[in-house]
Amino acid sequence: MTDDDAGRDHREEFHEDPLGHADAWAGMSVGDLADEYGNAGIGAAKMGRAVDVYAEMLAREDVTNFFGLAGAMVPGGMRSVVTDLLRDGHIDALVTTGANLTHDAIEAIGGKHHHGRTAEAGHERDHDERLRDEGVDRIYNVYLPQEHFTLFESHLRDRVFPEFDGVVATSEFTRELGRANLAANEATGVDEDAGIAAAAYESDVPVFVPAIQDSVLGIQAWMHSQVSAFTLDALADLTNITDVAFDAERAGATVVGGGVPKNFVLQTMLTVPEAYDYGVQLTTDPASTGGLSGATLDEARSWGKLEKSAKNVTVLGDATITLPLLVAAARDRIEG
């Protein structure tokens, strides 16, 4: 026996598990596709593993699901995916941005986002200057007419702010926003669904916006605070989300994007004795950037935010591609 042969007999990292290679066929279900991803390697293997973890997390009745939603997910077309998760009981606490709730409310009360474009190289400035002259805001390749923000501001003044007088937790404010969105949506016969905040209101799911001031919604709240006793208490939400975590028998985290929603979801476990048993992260940022958005869930384990035994996976890619695939494949498994 050679030294090489002896070394191969003690391969601690090697377990015989040959790739099956992914097949693709006409009529395959999204669950089938996820299974085929699991047979492959590199990013496909990560996606397949993410579906395994997420499906198990949703299927267990003893798991409380925390969902972090960053980025331009509503303008990017992910509104219905999140709305349906709320209505079907797959989200128990939502942490998102004021921007996502702004765009969600705009659609609830009759506004629409539109397919747009990015400019050809060398013409970016001319393109955006023209959009500014025409009163159109651009979010990558999505357009939003500025008059929809005016509609949104009137909605807040007429239907939301009058309900408060004094200090309010952000989660109480977003609950009222959801109620108002639902009422306006039904009263005016808007074709579009009432959306995320409304579904959270109907399902009694708290919505936390720890950086609400970083949005049009936050700007409007600040402006109202200048002429009334109304103000938002951000610290109160630490109590409210900690209460959800304390009551959880087991906990799972789904993190879409990074930034404040990601950290707020994960840091919640620093305030309770337990930690997350499951974690799925969808992000575009690699860990090599050194930023929060690319930090792996394994790193969170070192902080005590995930249990040592937690099942977790991070998938790199555009969340407007990976989120629908993750959700649809998991649903295929637990509902099919």
231 sits in which H/E element: strand 231-233
Q: Read out DSSP for 262-314?
A: HHHHHHGGGSSS--EEEEEEEES--GGG-SGGG--HHHHHHTTSEEEEEEEEE
Question: How many Å apart are CA 277 and CA 35, to the nearest integer?
Answer: 23
Q: Record the tokens describing residue 8, joined without a space.
A: 């191969």
Separation in Å, CA 247 to CA 166, 237, 242, 276: 29, 15, 9, 13
Q: How many residues does the chain have?
A: 336
With beta carbons less than 8 A apart as the criterion, state whether 30 and 220 touch.
Answer: no
Q: What order of strands is seen across the sheet that includes strand 93-96?
A: 207-208, 93-96, 63-69, 250-256, 276-283, 306-316
Please, what is the angle between helix 170-188 and helix 98-108, to 10°? 20
Query: Which residue type is seen at 184?
Result: A
- Residue 61: burial class (beta carbons within 10 Å; 0-12, 13-18, 19+): exposed
Active site residue 305: yes
Break the chain down into helix, strand, coil percent, rounded to 5.
50, 15, 35
CB 58: neighbour CB atoms within 10 A? Answer: 24
Closest CA to 206 of 278, 268, 293: 268
Give the number of C-alpha atoms closer than 13 A to the C-alpha of residue 170, restricted to the C-beta side: 24
- Indicate which residue of 46, 112, 262, 305 is catalytic: 305
Residues forming the active site: 305
